[in-house]
Chain A
Amino acid sequence: AQSVAQPEDQVNVAEGNPLTVKCTYSVSGNPYLFWYVQYPNRGLQFLLKYITGDNLVKGSYGFEAEFNKSQTSFHLKKPSALVSDSALYFCAVRDLMDSSYKLIFGSGTRLLVRP
């Protein structure tokens, strides 16, 4: 069965410091991986995705993520955090063996960037 784990409920970082939000996945076939962000009272916004190719993918708002097949991880990173990055972040996986192409989400990680 497909699953996604986000081991940290919350990540705290000071503005200007680098941030990492962790994600590991489990699928039966090859994974397509996604990161979404949710601001208060808003829907989920797409940040970036890994489909194939370069293991380091760049996305919106200066975020990037590194795909590591051996560790089944897809951690979200940003070199310099902003207070406005404070939000709820979700990792999601799509199993190519599942013809519905539905996204399975992790439990979410709340990022708090302090000034």
Chain B
Amino acid sequence: DSGVTQTPKHLITATGQRVTLRCSPRSGDLSVYWYQQSLDQGLQFLIQYYNGEERAKGNILERFSAQQFPDLHSELNLSSLELGDSALYFCASSEIRADTEAFFGQGTRLTVV
């Protein structure tokens, strides 16, 4: 058990809809990362939050947004969903130190139909 909790595990929704994915980081970790894993694109970095503030942005679509709350849990909001958004979405947390590994949740599998 990595200590990172993601909910829900599975989500099926229709095109055009909006969903929210939730992540609770490991106790004490201030940094949260979101990644998207598609079948043919590996793990793509989306966005990072540190102690409530956005710290880095990757290839995140404008339809997607995230936030980190005072209790350090994070939410990834995906709107106007398209079939191509179907993927596994991972959250990871770490200390804000370069020499520490990131710990991953089990992911949320999103299927857009």
Q: Which residues of A contact B (CB under 8 A)?
A: 32, 34, 36, 41-46, 49, 51, 90, 94, 96, 98-108
Which residues of B56-108 have CB atoms within 8 Å of chain A's CB atoms? 56, 58, 90, 92, 94, 96-99, 101-107
Contacts of A46 in B (CB 8 A): 101-103
Contact-residue bracket for chain B: 20 to 34
| Contact assessment for A43 and B2 in the assembled complex, using a CB-CB cutoff below 8 Å | yes
Chain B, 37-51, CB within 8 A of any chain A CB: 41-43, 45, 48, 50
* CB closest residue in chain B, given A44: B104
CB distance from A16 to the nearest CB of B (A): 29
The chain B residues found within 8 Å of chain A, CB to CB, are: 2, 4, 31, 33, 35, 41-43, 45, 48, 50, 55-56, 58, 90, 92, 94, 96-99, 101-107
- Tell me if A100 and B48 are in contact (CB < 8 A): yes
Q: 8 A-B residue contacts at CB 8 Å? A: A41-B106, A43-B2, A43-B105, A43-B107, A101-B94, A102-B45, A106-B42, A107-B42
Contact B42 A96 (CB under 8 A): no
Contact of B33 among A99, A102, A108 (CB under 8 A): A102
